[in-house]
Structure 1
Amino acid sequence: MKTPIISGTSFLSLSLTLALALSVATSPPAAVAEQQDIGSVSFSTSCSRSVQADFNRAVALLHHMMYVQSHELFADIARRDPDCAMAYWGIAMTALHPLWAPPPAEALARGQEALRKAREISPETAREKAYIEAASAFYQDWDKTRHRKNLEAWSAAQQQLYERFPDDVDAGALYALSLVATAPKEDKDYTHQKAAGKILERLRGKAPRHPAMYHYLIHAYDNPALAGRALEVAREYDKIAPEVPHALHMPSHIFVRQGIWPDTIDWNKRSAAAARRQPAEGKTSLHYYHALDYLLYAYLQQGRKKEAKATIAELQAAAEAQDEFASAYGIAASRARYPLENRDWRGAAALDPRVPGSFPWDKYPWTEAVVEFARGIGAARSGDSAAAVRSAGRLGELQEQTAAAGEQYWARQVKVQQLAVQAWAELSAGDQQQARALMREAADMEDSMDKHPVTPGPVLPARELLGDMLLASNKPREAVEAYRAALEVNAGRFNSLYGAARAAAEIGDNRAASKFYQELLDQAGEYGSREEIARARKFMEQQ
């Protein structure tokens, strides 16, 4: 097999990368010392029996996507048993991150060199060799423009591995994960996800405490059509891993899809607390920002302004963030969500797109775009069409940077944001017809793609923004339909429910208006403090 290469990266630098990865203190990593309950994995290897228990633990952490902790443990195993080829396989797998973003050059260097070392050792069993070759398929001639193709190559290799060893739970789990990672975002039949779910449901009968049977099943069913299938699994995940931050967060992917806000809040508060206790690389873990973004989203859907504001303060008070896409997205999306969801247009327009300044935003232009989108929408809806046009221009630049980085999915999402800002700029300037045409184009494009696994949903759904625009343009009947469509994909959104109720009332459909208002009041409960809730109560009292 051809040896994987990175253009411009010397063999010496690759060797130094791996050496650095293995040259941490000789004391056991935190993941070993704490010995929390993280589920059960039984992954046989030809490594020394003295490292087998820790190897199982490292694989469990890999399946939880606690990649830093998993890498620490695999590296510790490689130091203790230098002839353990599968420890180097594990190091490579912790750099892959199939559902997140393309790995940076240094992570690729680490992974490629680790696989070279694994092949050099040449493990004793055909099964272990097959695992190493499957991982190598991802790293073959890798660059960012080929990221999708390399994921597909990895998936094909994982399929062959699973078909060769059909009783191997981890082989099946990783193949299922690869199916989710390569699922076309425009496929609304969710073919890949259903296939992955079928594999995982079968394997869960064989390994009921295996973390992949919870984690990957939630990802497979994290869409409007299938979310109900994972509700039971979501509520059980913490029983096998009560202190793993990502395990405590993952159930909220299903809760958000079904508009179950109290559980989304409770689980993400627990996740954030666990993440605070487990920093990554000496920095605030990406899992902390990931949990806070979902926590904030849920608070906003209940109209809980006080708690949402406190969450923003908590995010801003955190120490230096781990340099990962999920950190960048969590920070940017949270900052954008708060003013946009609260209809604070001037506050949105005043956002600084690069806060905190110490974070390497140039690496993640699609996350900077989230804040620029908020600035543009805020400017247009507060009457500053010139500023909105500038934001649309900046989004165009960020879209080009995102595409150049190989992030085609996110490049399309940034295009949606640019179209939405252009639409509202046109409305602010007085051209209603052009504004509605652009906004429909944005909504149709966004509807053609599912959300990214890292996000709870769009910062403001384009279909909801279309509803707002139709309502503002004295087209309430069309607005109702736009809000209904938004709610089918983004369950229980506060502003979609409120907009639909207002639009229905304007066309004299008080029955529909009452239904939407009642749903809004039910999900806000006793906590909501937005003035829209008082208006909903007043309407209901008059019926």
Structure 2
Amino acid sequence: MAATATTAHAQAMHDHDHGVPEKLGTVSFPIACTASVQQPFNRAVALLHSFAFGAAQKAFKDVAAKDPTCAMAHWGVAMTYFHPVWQPVLPPETFAAGQKEMQEAVRLQPSDPRGRGYIHALAELYKPDASLKPGDRTLAYEAAMASVVAADGKDVEAKVFYAVALLSNASPTDRTHAKQKQAIAILDPLFKANPDHPGIAHILIHACDSPELAKQGLDAARKYASIAPSASHALHMPSHIFTRLGLWDDSIQSNIASEKAAREQGDTMGQLHAMDYLVYAYMQTGRDKEARQVLAELKALPKLDMSDFAIAYASTAMPIRVAVEEARWDDAVAIVPPKGAPDSVVAIAVWAKGIGLARSGRPADAKAQADRLHTLEAHLRMAGDTYWADQTSILSSEVSAWAAQAAGNTAGATALLSDAAEREDRIEKRPVTPGPIVPAREQLGEMLLAQNQPGPALAAFQDALALAPGRAGAMRGAAKATSTQ
């Protein structure tokens, strides 16, 4: 028996309840529980596949209430505390709750071997061993899900959840995208055979969210919104691929629809996430007026929870994107870091101020912002957040480079920005953002143009466009470099 319904938006870093829209796609996940809960269970799994964690959790708990012996209902609740493509994958504030559900699932033990396989696998994620790091847990879960797939090669759900497990272990510094390619190899044939399955299309898009693989995700991107047309996340998620390919009009339409759905569902995080992608796309098509309208909508929102990374990131990045892309350096200088936001978000505000100061001819003041970024980087490293520490280090180098340029040290400026570009090229972006405010390699092209080096500038712009096709600044820069050679 299959469930047909829809999903709401994914939750980014914490548990966001996105409501229960009207259509979730088609899912069939047989369980050894009371027959009356089979359909509700399928529906709960469909919600889970679209990362509607709050709604899925409620649905699984409803199944457990109707059938107190249903071990898989507790498996489902525990799964909602696992956020595979976001950071952290196992939020510390909900980990104990996930362990408790997992213990209940193990205690109840389903009668069928298939159900026991799923529960054994997830138990690896929630082992009561405080010495295990999240990465240890996700690797153990991945291996256990591989065994579930091996036990029944016809189990579509096992393959989808195995692909999810693979992505939970994909390193942002692995430029070979090995885990993503493994997931794609599993999901591609499933997508052809199950075109209305929400998880297959959704996870394919995540697996293909890189410059190398984006074209492989285009069919899934075109399909996912029609699988779940009422869902803000299903409406937004295709724009990850559209952004990678420079399909700006498609991205704009995707995020207009997603923002509207998220707003109607009371999903602030989903709304802001779509708005950030929308501003990014507007700026690439010269639709500055529309981008500023989005900023006006942002200002009209009620007070935001800036301790929530995804909310803080999107709301901070949007005005910075407009100021820097338009080279409004006074606006950039006026950017104030949001109070209560994570250091990784504060960093982009400090960067904006530093870039604005440097490009306004105030190198000493800009250098002070670079030093502040070094301090934020140190805080992030002490907290174990290596990814955002590395990103903040890149931002610091960019500010230092433009400060050196403003001070007349062109050789030092080029060296600093070239190094920043090399480091940025080696790290994949997180799904929380459509991309850097301005890629370092695109900035390098701008700097080389300012130094009257059109040949090297053109090469830098071409390299930037290979990684981020269709970016307006890089295309303008390439045209100018070509005309001045």
Give the TM-score, by structure 1 length.
0.82
Task: Give the superposition deviation at 1:451.
Answer: 1.8
1:348 counterpart = 2:335: no
1:159-203 alpha-carbon deviations (Å, 9 max, x no partner)? 222222221111111111222232232333322222211100122
What is residue 291 of structure 1 aligned with on the other side? 274
1:176-325 map, 5 Å: 176-279=163-266, 284-321=267-304, 324-325=308-309
* Alignment pair present for 1:489 and 2:447: no
Give 2:47's aligned residue: 61
Alignment of 1:54-93 (within 5 A): 54-93=40-79
2-structure distance, mates of 1:316, 1:163: 52
366, 376, 380: which one pairs with 2:344?
Answer: 366
CA contact (8 A) 2:351 2:399 kept: yes
Cα distance between partner residues in 2 of 1:492 and 1:238: 23
Q: Deviations over 1:81-116 (max 9, x none)?
A: 332222221122111111111143221122111111
| One-letter identity of the residue aligned with 1:97 | H
Cα shift readout 1:234-253 (whole Å, capped 9, x = no counterpart): 11112211111111011111
Contact kept? 2:102, 2:126, Cα under 8 Å: no
State which of 358, 367, 375 in structure 2 corresponds to 1:380: 358
1:39 to 25, 40, 59: 25
Assess, with a 3 A threshold, how the Cα gap between structure 1 residues 320 and 215 changes in structure 2: closer, same or farther: farther
Q: Does 1:430 align with 2:408?
A: yes
Give 1:331's aligned amino acid: S
Residue type of the partner of 1:95? Y
Q: Hey, what does 1:120 align to over in structure 2? A: 107
Alpha-carbon distance between aligned partners in 2 of 1:484 and 1:143, rounded to the nearest angstrom: 48
Pair 295,426 (structure 1): closer, same or farther in 2 beyond 3 Å: same
- Offset from partner CA, 1:197-217 (integer Å, 9 cap, x none): 110012224422111111111
Structure 1: distance between partners of 2:132 and 2:368: 29
Q: Cα 1:305–1:214, aligned 2, differ >3 Å: closer, same or farther?
A: same
Label 1:143 to 1:101 Cα distance change in 2 as closer, same or farther (>3 A). farther
RMSD of the alignment, in Å?
A: 2.1
- Contact map agreement 1:145 1:406 (CA 8 A) in 2: no
- 5+ residue gaps, structure 2, are 1-14
**2-side partners of 1:334 and 1:144: how far apart?**
39
Report which stretch shifted further, 69-78 or 488-497.
69-78
Match status 1:171 vs 2:155? no
| Aligned match for 1:328, one of 309, 312, 334 | 312
1:223, 1:311 → 2: CA distance? Answer: 26
Which amino acid is the alignment partner of residue 105 of structure 1?
P
Equivalent in 378, 386, 408 of residue 386 of structure 2: 408
Q: Cα offset for 1:312? A: 1.3
* SS in structure 2 at match of 1:450: coil
C-alpha distance in structure 1 between counterparts of 2:71 and 2:106, whole Å? 7
What's the counterpart of residue 6 of structure 2? none
In 1, the alpha carbon distance for the partners of 2:131 and 2:262 equals: 29
Q: Does structure 1 residue 398 correspond to structure 2 residue 376?
A: yes
Which has the larger displacement, 320-329 or 156-165?
A: 320-329
Amino acid at match of 1:372: V
Distance, in Å, in 2 between the alignment partners of 1:135 and 1:404 is 30
Q: Give the 3-state SS of the residue equivalent to 1:40 in structure 2.
A: strand
Deviations 1:120-140 (A, max 9, x none): 222222222221232232233
Structure 2 CA distance for aligned equivalents of residues 379 and 80 of structure 1: 62
- Report if the CA contact (8 A) 2:441-2:460 is conserved: yes
SS in structure 1 of the partner of residue 195 of structure 2: coil
User: CA 1:379/1:133 → structure 2, altered by over 3 Å: closer, same or farther?
Assistant: farther
CA distance in 1, matches of 2:453, 2:59: 59
Deviation at 1:487, TM superposition (A): 0.5
SS in 1 for 2:210: coil
Describe the superposition over 1:219-270 as per-residue Cα deviations: whole angstroms up to 9, x where unpaired. Answer: 1111222222222221111221111111101111111111111110001010
Q: Is the 8 A contact 1:145 1:405 kept in 2?
A: no
CA distance in 2, matches of 1:111, 1:189: 33
Q: Which residue of 2 aligns with 1:518?
A: none
Q: How far apart are the structure 2 equivalents of 1:479 and 1:87?
A: 58
Counterpart contact for 2:75–2:122, Cα < 8 Å: yes
Q: Distance in 1 between matches of 2:235 and 2:141?
A: 28
User: Percent of aligned positions with the same letter in both sequences?
Assistant: 42
Moved more, 383-392 or 487-496: 383-392
CA 1:346 to 1:214, structure 2 compared with 1: closer, same or farther past 3 Å?
same
Question: Match of 2:474, as an amino acid?
Answer: S
2:474 is the counterpart of 1:502: no
Please report how far the alpha carbon of residue 142 of structure 1 lies from its aligned counterpart in structure 2 after TM superposition. 7.4
Structure 2: distance between partners of 1:134 and 1:347: 51
2:23 aligns to what SS in structure 1?
A: coil
SS in 1 for 2:133: helix
Aligned to 1:474, the other structure's residue is in SS state: coil
Cα distance change on mapping 1:406 and 1:125 into 2, 3 Å: farther
| Aligned equivalent of 1:108 | 95
1:447 alignment counterpart: 425
In structure 2, the partner of 1:532 is none
**Aligned residue type for 2:483:** A
After superposition, the Cα gap between the structure-2 partners of 1:59 and 1:189, relative to the gap in structure 1 and judged at 3 Å, is same
Paired letter, 2:399: V
Counterpart residue number, 1:160: 147
> What does residue 8 of structure 2 align with?
none
Whole-Å separation in 1 of the counterparts to 2:65 and 2:376? 43
Q: Does the C-alpha gap of structure 1 residues 139 and 469 become closer, same or farther in structure 2, counting only changes over 3 Å?
A: farther
Quick one: which of 131, 137, 147 aligns to 2:124? 137
Q: Which residue of 2 aligns with 1:149?
A: 136
Query: Quick one: which of 82, 85, 103 aligns to 1:99?
Result: 85
* AA partner of residue 281 (structure 2): A
Query: Which residue of 2 is the match for residue 15 of structure 1?
Result: none
Indicate if the aligned counterparts of 1:193 and 1:221 stay in contact, CA closer than 8 A. Answer: yes
Corresponding letter in the other structure for 1:225 = E
